[in-house]
Amino acid sequence: MNRLRNTDIKFLKGIGPARAELLNKQLGIRSYYDLLYHFPSNYIDRTTIYPISSLHGEMPAVQIKGKFITFSIHGEGAKTRLTGLFSDGTGTIEVVWFRRIRQIKDAYRTGNEYILFGKPTEFNGRWSLVHPEIDSPSSVTATQGLRGVYPLTETLRNRGISSRTIFTWVQTALSATLHIKESLPENIITGLNLMPLRDALVNIHSPKDNNTLQRAKLRLKFEELFYLQLNILRYSRRRTAALNGFRFPRIGHYFNTFYTQCLPFKLTGAQKRVIKEIRADMGSGRQMNRLLQGDVGSGKTLVALLCMLIAIDNGTQACLMAPTEILATQHYETISQMVAPIGINVKLLTGSTGKKQRDIIHDQLEDGSLHILIGTHAVIEDNVQFRNLGFVVIDEQHRFGVAQRARLWKKNFTPPHILVMTATPIPRTLAMTVYGDLDVSVIDELPPGRKPVETLLRYDNQRNAIYQSIGRQLKSGRQVYIVYPLIQENEKLDLRCLEEGYELIRETFPMYKVAYVHGKMKPSEKEHQMNLFACHQADILVATTVIEVGVNVPNATTMVIENAERFGLSQLHQLRGRVGRGDGQSYCILMTKYNIAKETRKRLEIMTSTTDGFLIAEADLKMRGPGDMEGTMQSGIAFDLHIANLATDGQIIQLARGSAEKILDTDPDLSHPDNLMLRPQLSAIFEKTIDWGRIS
Ligand code: ADP
Ligand code: MG
C-alpha cells in the first residue's frame, strides 16, 4: 500500500512529468494510489447498446453504436461549434462539440464505426449529444461489463484528457501492480465477507455487473469509514484515558431539596434518562464530554440545572455559557428564579456588566461563594477565575469555536465536566463521526401537553388573508414574528426586501408597534429591538435569522417566514421553534411565490407534515448532503471522503464503528501482530486531519 502511495504518477506509462503535474493540480492525483482511488462518478454499461430509435425522455447516459454521416462547423470565434450527424440505421442524433474542434474533426471520420457514450437530450423531437465519450468498437470488445466514467475538470478536457484516458491509465496502473497489499485485517475481511482490496479496486473501475460493483463499493466505503472511526476512537480513548476528571459521587442537599420541593413540573422520561447518563459520567472519575441534543422546547435547561446542582453538591462551581446576551439573560432569569428558594447564588456576566458588579462576581468566584455563573463569551476572559469549576454547560454549541471552548477547559487543574447543548438535531450516525469524541445524549420527547405548531405553505397571492389572521392574533394580545432571508450573496437586495417588508407591515398594522432587527445592526441596537419584543412593548418583530437561536417569547404565537424556499430545512425548523412556546395554538406560515420547483415544494412539505427535528434533519441531510450540515463544514470530513457518504451510509458507519471498537477494546495500541498493519495506513490517511472529532 505504501509503495502505491510513494510511486509518483509520472512513472506510469503514458503520463510523464507534464501530465503528472496537470493531474496533480487538477485532481490532486500524485501517486498510483491517488489514481486508483480516483473513483468513477458514473459507469458506461458496455453490455447494452441502445438503438437511437429507442431513446426516450429521462434516460441516463447510454451507449449507441453507428457512423458519422456528415460533420459541419457553425458560428465563429468563441461561438464556434462542430456538429456531426450520427446514424445507427434506426435513427439519427446530432453530436455537438464546443471545444477542441480541430482535433476532434481530425480524429473521427465519416463512414467508420464508433461507439458513443453520453446523456442524450431531446429538443423539438430531435436528439443531440454534447461532448460524448467516443470509442472505436475494436477497443471496446477487449473487456466486457461496466466501465468507469471519471470526474474531470474543464482544463483537463481542453488538454485532451478524457474520461477514457483516465480509465486507460487506471488499467495500466492496475496491471503494473499485481500485488496490492490488503489494507484491512484478515478477520474483518472474512468476518464481514468483504471483497479483498485488489478485487475491489479492479471492480470499482470496471465491474462485470452491478452486483459486483455494489460489493466493491461496500468494501471501499467500509475501509474508508473504518479508518475514520478507528482514528476518532483511538484519539478520544487516549485522551479520556489520560485525563482524570472530577468524581462526583454524591447527590446532596441542593439537588434533593430542589428535586423534592422546587421542581416546577414532573420530568419527562427522556429528561430522567439523560440526567442518569450524565450522573454516571460524573461519577466515573473521568472527564465528561457530552453532547446533549434535544429539540427546541424539549427542556434542556432544566436538565442542565439539575446537573449543575449535582456539581455544587460535590463542592464545585458551575458555569453556563450562551452565545448571545439575550440568551444568557433569559437563562439567568429562569434559573435564578427557580433556585432562589434553596439559596443558590447565581450571577450574570456579559459584555455589558458594569465594573462594580464585575468586581463582586470576580470576588465571589474566587472565594467560592458564587455557585453558578451564567454569561456570554465574557465568562472565558482570562481574568475570570473560579475557585473550583466542576461543570460547564455550553448552550447552542455551534456558535462557539473549538478554541473558545478550550479556554474554559483550561480554567482548572482538573478539567471540568462539559455538557454541550444543541437544538440542531444531528442524525446520530453523523454526530458519531463529526463529534467523534463526544458522548451523545438525546432528549427525544417533548413535555406533555404541547400543541404542535401548525405549519402552512402559502403563496404571495394569499397575503391579504394572512394579514387578516395576523390581525386577529394581534387583537387577542398575541405577538408575531415576520422573518426575511438575509443571504450574503445578495445582501443588498435582501436588506431592501427586509426594509420594504418592515414598511409594509407598519402600514398594514398602524395601531401596533413594530420592532425591527437584523444582523447588520449594532449589537446594542439589536439588543434594544429584541428587548422591545421580549417585554411586549412591540407586537410584531420583523427580523432576519438572528432570532433563530433560543429566543423565548411564549406570547408570540405566529411566525411568517418570507421566501421560505431560500432557507434550509434545519434552519426553518430552528426558526419555527420560536413559536409554540406557550399555551396558545401557534402557527408558522411559509410564504413563497406561486411558481416553485417540484423539489422545493417537496422540501417545504416536509415542514408542513412534521415537527420532529430529527426527521427534518435526516431529510435535510439526504437532500443537501453532509457538506451543509452544522459541524461538518468546519471539520472538513465531508470533503475528504472519497466514496463514503455520511448522509446515506449510516449503516456502514455503524458497522465500521463496531469493528473499530472491537479492535480497540482488546488492543488499544494496535500492537497485536494482526493489527500492526493498521498503523502505517492510519498515519498515512490522517497526517493532516488528526483533529477530527475534537470538541473541547
Ligand atoms: P430547550 O430544550 O429548547 O432549551 P427549555 O429548556 O427552554 O427548552 O424548555 C422549554 C420549556 O419547557 C420551558 O418553559 C420549560 O420550563 C418547560 N419544561 C421543561 N421541562 C418540562 C417538563 N418536564 N414538563 C413541562 N414543561 C417543561
Ligand atoms: Mg434552550
Are 48-143 and 253-282+299-422 the same fold in CATH?
A: no
d(CA 317, CA 292): 20
pLDDT at 411: 63
Residues 542/502, Cβ–Cβ less than 8 Å: yes
Query: What residue ranges do the domains of the chain occupy?
Result: 1-42+149-181, 48-143, 253-282+299-422, 454-610
Give the ligand whose atoms come closest to the C-alpha of residue 274.
Answer: 1
The alpha carbon of residue 370 and the mean position of all alpha carbons in its chain are separated, in whole angstroms, by: 38
Cell of 111: 463512414
User: pTM of this prediction?
Assistant: 0.65
Residue (of 201, 152, 112, 238) closest to 670 by Cα position: 238
Give the ligand whose atoms come closest to the C-alpha of residue 574.
Answer: 1
pLDDT at 153: 86
Q: Which residue has 471498537 as its cell numbers?
A: 661
The architecture CATH gives domain 253-282+299-422: 3-Layer(aba) Sandwich (3.40)
Nearest atom, ligand 1, residue 265 CA: 24
DSSP state of 451: P
Q: Which amino acid is at 572?
A: L
Identify each DSSP E strand in 489-615 by its residue range: 514-517, 540-543, 556-561, 587-592
Residues of the chain with pLDDT under 50: 142, 627-639, 688-696
- Percent of the chain's residues with pLDDT above 70: 88
pLDDT at 547: 75
Which protein residue's CA is at the shortest distance from atom 17 of ligand 1? 299
Residues 433/637, Cβ–Cβ less than 8 Å: yes
Average pLDDT, the chain: 86
The alpha carbon torsion through 643, 646, 648, 649 (nearest 10 deg) reads: 70
- Cβ(268) to ligand 1 under 6 A? yes
Is the CATH number of domain 454-610 3.40.50.300?
A: yes
d(CA 114, CA 87): 10
d(CA 196, CA 194): 6
d(CA 482, CA 589): 9
CA of 634 to the centre of ligand 2 (A): 23
Which protein residue's CA is at the shortest distance from atom 16 of ligand 1? 299
Residues 413/287, Cβ–Cβ less than 8 Å: no
pLDDT at 306: 97
Q: Which amino acid is at 417?
A: H
d(CA 68, CA 551): 67
DSSP, residue by residue, 76-130: -GGG-EEEEEEE-SS-EEEEEESSSHHHHHHH--BTSEEEEEE--EEETTEEEEE
Decide: helix, strand or coil at residue 238: helix
- Cβ(532) to ligand 1 under 6 A? no
- Cβ(282) to ligand 1 under 6 A? no
CATH superfamily of 48-143: Nucleic acid-binding proteins (2.40.50.140)
Rounded alpha-carbon distances, angstroms, from residue 386 to 363, 366, 369:
9, 5, 10
Best residue among 272, 293, 302 to mutate for probing ligand 1's pocket (most ligand atoms within 8 Å of CB) is 302
The DSSP H or E segment spanning 235 is helix 210-242
pLDDT at 690: 39
Residues 38/204, Cβ–Cβ less than 8 Å: no
pLDDT tens digits for 610-644?
988 878 877 877 776 654 444 444 444 444 678 88
